[in-house]
Structures are given as structure tokens and as C-alpha cells.
Amino acid sequence: MKKSKLFGPSTLVAAAFIGPGTVTTCTLAGVETGYTLLWAMVFSIVATVVLQEMAARLGFITRSGLGEALRVYFSHPIARIAVFTLVIGAILIGNAAYESGNLAGGVLGLDLLIGEFALSPLILGAICFSLLYFGSFKSLEKILIGLVIVMSIFYLMTVIIVKPDMLSIAKGLIPTRASFDHLNLILGIIGTTVVPYNLFLHASTISKKWDPESSLADIRSENRSSIILGGVISMMIIITAAASSDIIQEVNNASDLALQLEPLFGNSAKILMGVGLFAAGLSSTLTAPIAAAYAAKGLFNLEEDSLMFRLVWMSVLLTGVIVAMSGFKPIIIIQFAQIANAILLPLIATFLIYLCNSKQLLGQHTNRPVTNLIAIMIIGITIMLSLRSLNLIFGLI
């Protein structure tokens, strides 16, 4: 297989979920539970591969996005209103929460580089607004993704140096019954990896990267290789944090996050972590609003240069800035964003499964029974974890 077939839209999906939320959530998992939640990351990788393949196949066959497919399939006025309300509500809420976490992560990076500054979220938001409004973010995004990948390589090097307990890693890969104390961390791991807006983003970009004569087998191979690579990087962060738990007692700020890189980089670890978090935060901050806008574009047949299209991404960005400036600790905001995404995931995934079983849309390329079975299991497990978490936090159930 040619190298070019291994990198494409799925690579952007992987880069999108390796953001500040991943660094923070995986570090918390490693520090608080050691290697015991590695299985949750394995589950998240499998879930992402399955769901993103469905989104990619839908976009490739229909040559349109997930939002467009929903608009075409649900043509009855009542059904369309119900579906659109649920989907756009989930996307706006989920993306706004995720955007808050992205901005908080970027602010954490700035804190390490220049010190704490109350207006950092506003400055970061203004930079993103300018890049999105004038459409000049795509070239910068490649540089930022490159910086995140470099930081990920450093994590791999750190794992080698700290020499983690391989037997404990093997045990951590085996699923165990989750305790209530770990539920939010598990949901956070799922929410930072299986990101609902990436399903819209993938379906919308697949036709731009792969021409109609391309092979579905090549698309699936690219999807697996990119998502698994991203997942392995996330696992490296958990392993690094677990192996460094003797020097990281708890994670309250960016300096605590940088401690896990000290075995390799010493005093330079803070600078490296600052650059990585800022790059990851800024890159993801650019992606979330535009993904929400593309979802609305498909649902409501908007033009990309229309006022409504811009108002969607502006509202997501503005919400993120307001929350990031609210005074809540960035670590708390990031955790909440990942949990919110995990709770909203089943809704979007259910619509995706429904569409991918439509012969009207996909013809002979509808889901195979095994794909449906795995996808339904993913949704069921995520719903069960979400309900247990809500019961723990709010006592609603």
C-alpha cells in the first residue's frame, strides 16, 4: 500500500482528538488509577475505528456530509424537526463544551510559557476568530498538528526511559468492573477519543480527499492506521503518567502535567508541555466551531459564506471563551467537556447507525451485521456508563 493511502481525513480526526483534553484526561487516569484504565482506551479506540469508518463510508458513497444525509433521509416535516432539534442541540452543546476545554487547554499552555494572565482566553479566542473569519487557519493548522505530533513522540521516548511495569500494563488492558470512583475518568477517556463532531467532520471531508474511483478498502485501512496510532499515543500518556505517579501526587495545573516529561527533558519539560498544550488547544479550538458549522450547513442547506454559517461557529467560539473566562479551573473545564461528549455520543451514533443501514443512501454498502452488533454494543456500554455517572453525580436515577 502506498504511503499516501495511510494518511488522509482520518489523520485529521486522530490529530483532533489528541488535544489538551486527551493530555489532561489521560494524565489524570494514569496518576489516579495507574495502568488499570488502559482497557477503557482500548474500548475507545475500537469505538472510534468503527464509528469513524461508518461516517467515512457514508460520506464517500453519498459524496455529502452526515448533516446532508439526515436532511435527505428525514424528509417528513415532523420527523425532520424532531431529528434536527436533537442533533443540532447535541452538536451545539457538545461542541461548546469541547470548545471550552480546548480554550482551557490552550490557556494552560500559555500559563507555562508566559505565566497566568486573566485575559488569555479572550486573546486566544480573538486569534481563532480572525483565523476562522478570514479563512487562513488551514495552513497554520498543519504546523500546530505537527507540534502536537512532535510532543507525542516525546511521550513515546519518555515511556522508554521511565521503564513502566509491563506486567501491570498487560493487566490494565483486561477490562475490569468499573468502580464509581473511576466512572468519570472512563467517560472522560471515551469522550476525549470518540468525539461526536468528528463524525460530521469526517463525513464532510472524505469526498474532498478521496475521488469516486477510490477503494473503500483503502479508506478503511487509512481509518484504522490513523485512529490506532492516535489511540496508542493516548495510551502512552496514561503509561507515562502512571510510571511517574511517584512524582505527580495530583493534577491541578499545567505544571503538574509537565512533571511526567521531566525524566527526559528535565527543566525544559514545562516549556515543551506549554508549547504542546498551546498547539493542541489552538488547533482543536479552530476545529470544533467549524465542525459545528458544517453540521448546521448540512442540516439546513447553508452556504459556507452565509451569515448563518458564520453565526454557528461564532456562537460555539464565544461560548468557549465565556466559559474559559468564568473562573473555573481549566482542569475542571476540560474534564467536564470530555464527560459531556461521552454522554452525547450515543445520540449522534444512533442516527449514524440508522443512516448506514439505509439502502436508499448506501445501496450495497450498508452496515454488515457484525458492524451493527459492535456499534450497538458501543452505544449500550456508553449509555450504561453515562447513566451510572449521572446517578453518582446528580442522584437523578
Kindly report, residue by residue over 190-234, the tens digit of the pLDDT: 988 888 888 888 888 787 777 777 788 888 888 898 889 889 889
Residue 66 CA: distances (Å) to CA of 93, 231, 353, 355: 18, 24, 11, 9
In this predicted model, which residue has the larger pLDDT, 264 or 299?
299
Lowest mean pLDDT among 18-27, 244-253, 286-295: 244-253
> What is the distance in angstroms between the CA of the first residue and the CA of the last residue of the chain?
51
pLDDT for the residue numbered 3: 43
CATH superfamily of 3-394: Amino acid/polyamine transporter I (1.20.1740.10)
pLDDT at 1: 40
Nearest alpha-carbon partner for 12 in 67, 55, 42? 55
pLDDT in tens, 120-171: 899 999 988 988 888 765 666 566 667 667 767 777 788 888 788 899 999 9
Residue 200's nearest CA partner among 377, 14, 68, 334 is 68
173 pLDDT band (50/70/90 cuts)? very high
CB-based contact 274:116 (threshold 8 Å):
no
Residues 6+ apart with CB under 8 A from 169: 35, 38, 239
Residue located via cell numbers 476545529: 287
Helix (H) or strand (E) holding 97: helix 77-114
Specify the pLDDT at position 394: 58
Confidence of residue 397 (pLDDT cuts 50, 70, 90): very low
Confidence of residue 5 (pLDDT cuts 50, 70, 90): low
Q: Environment class of residue 42 by beta-carbon count within 10 Å: exposed (0-12), middle (13-18) or buried (19+)?
A: middle
| pLDDT score of 45 more than 90 | yes
Rounded to an integer, the average pLDDT of 304-308 is 87
Q: Each residue of 329-386: pLDDT tens digit?
A: 777 887 777 787 788 889 889 999 999 999 989 999 999 999 999 999 999 999 988 8
One-letter amino acid for residue 177 of the chain: R
Among residues 164, 166, 153, the alpha carbon closest in space to that of 265 is found at: 153
Q: Is residue 124 within 8 Å of residue 130, measured between CB atoms? A: no
Confirm if 21 and 105 have CB atoms less than 8 A apart.
Answer: yes
Q: Is 394 exposed, middle or buried (0-12, 13-18, 19+ CB in 10 A)?
A: exposed
Instruction: Judge contact between 78 and 87, C-beta under 8 A.
Output: no
> Using N-to-C axis directions, what is the helix angle for 77-114 and 330-355, rounded to 10°?
150
The pLDDT > 90 percentage for the chain reads 21
Return the C-alpha cell found at 255: 505544571
Backbone angles phi, psi at 112, to 5 degrees: -75, -30
Contacts of 187 (CB under 8 A, 6+ apart): 338, 339, 342, 343, 385, 386, 389
In this prediction, residues 309-320 reach a mean pLDDT of 91
C-alpha cell at 158: 519518555
What pLDDT is stored for residue 396 in this prediction? 46
